[in-house]
Amino acid sequence: MKKTTFNHLWRNAIDDHVLALDWSPDGQTLAVASVSGPVTLFHLDGTRRFTLPAHGFGTMSMRFQPKPDSSLLATSGQDGKVRLWDSSTGEQICEMDGGSAWVERLDWSTDGAYLASCAGRKIRLWNPEGEMLQAYDHPRSTVSSLGWRPKRAGDERPQVLAVTGYGGLNLYTPGESTCIEENPWKGSALVMAWSPDGRFIATGDQDSTIHFWFADTGQNLQMWGYPVKVMQLAWDASSRYLATGGSDSVVVWDCSGKGPEGTKPATLQSHEDLISCLAFQPVGDILASGGRDGNLMLWRGMKNKKSPLLTAELEEPVSQITWSPNGKFLAAGTEAGDVFLFEVK
């Protein structure tokens, strides 16, 4: 087997704690948001292109439109606004009212036709020109997380948006004035992640458990045993493995067949403090884990579970990681505001 290499390409710094990272669809631009508000755009070679003012009271979410050759970047923040930017020029295109003081979450549909935002209980759907298409009031609680069902080429199903909070999981679709499906549950979900094949939804919950939903049937199950709240979820490209945080070990569930119920997860244990971020390659089988111990680790599949494939010491707690669309580059940000780029071969 070809030896994997982990090459450090560059290191830069922004003004504050790295809150979010995202790649442009062509993999040439890395957007880095700081907790204080500004968003810095770096070229793949490390050149600083633009610094966008973004949101003066603090940026909370940031996503590139997932369309080939698109330069459209959406941001939201603590000023109650959603903004669209042209990342090729650094110019703001438009500003939208998110419906409440803080706009916490954003997500583009897989085809880039719809942008969803949430602010408190307010859910809004926008088109790429910044026009509001739909508005919903989440019925039970403040929205904690939202995400569009992934769609692959040839998938003719309508776009579906999953929304979580206290009391369960709701599904929405553009053109419908109310939710199309309610999946009640007496608990509070904090984060969620669709499997790439759209079959499963995983949530990390307030009671330090993982909830696991079958999207087509609403059937659900729960996995527990975590010492702290699980705020990190990552699916591999095949939708077989779900990696989770919630401790100083990465816990990986095998979701093949009928799902993970009754199975024993794999445990990847090398961090010396809590896991802070997880990400599988979008193309490939390598899992990256970042920890509060300042270490960034690579794991290949579920083999060699006792030690990571490779490790980089970043000196400060790792706050964010993200793979480039082709899976060849891994970006990492720290609480101290450092930004690193690695090439994985």
pLDDT digits (tens, 9 = 90+) for 216-243: 888 888 888 899 999 999 999 999 999 9
Task: Give the integer Cα–Cα distance in Å for 148 and 160.
Answer: 6
Instruction: Spell out a b/e string for 92-113, using b for 16 or more CB atoms within 10 Å of the CB, else e.
Output: eeeebebbeebbbbbbbbbebe
In-domain check, residue 128: yes
User: What tens digit of pLDDT does each residue of 86-110 get?
Assistant: 999 999 999 999 998 899 999 999 9
Closest listed residue to residue 119, CA positions, set 78, 153, 158: 78
Name the 3-class secondary structure at 345.
coil
In-domain check, residue 193: yes
Confidence label for 312 from pLDDT (cuts 50, 70 and 90): very high
Task: Give the integer Cα–Cα distance in Å for 28 and 13.
Answer: 18
Q: Report whether pLDDT(28) > 60.
A: yes
In-domain check, residue 1: no
In-domain check, residue 22: yes
Name the 3-class secondary structure at 211.
strand
Contacts for 159-162 with beta carbons within 8 Å, 24 or more apart? 159/109, 159/110, 159/111, 159/113, 159/114, 160/215, 161/107, 161/109, 161/114, 161/116, 161/123, 161/125, 162/192, 162/194, 162/201, 162/215
Side-chain-facing half-sphere of 66: CA atoms under 13 Å: 17
Q: What is the mean pLDDT of residues 58-81?
A: 96
pLDDT of residue 153: 72
User: What tens digit of pLDDT does each residue of 168-190 get?
Assistant: 899 999 999 999 999 888 889 99
pLDDT of residue 240: 94
- Global confidence as pTM: 0.95
CATH number for the domain harbouring residue 34 = 2.130.10.10
Q: How many domains does the chain have?
A: 1
Which stretch of DSSP H or E encloses residue 77? Answer: strand 72-77
β-partners of residue 170 are 163, 182
Q: What radius of gyration do the chain's Cα atoms show?
A: 19
In-domain check, residue 80: yes
Domain encompassing residue 245? 6-344
Geometric angle at alpha carbon 170, from 164 and 172, rounded to 5° = 115
- Provide the greatest CA pair distance for the chain: 53
Task: Give the integer Cα–Cα distance in Å for 305 and 176.
Answer: 46
User: What tens digit of pLDDT does each residue of 267-283 get?
Assistant: 998 899 999 999 999 99
In-domain check, residue 46: yes
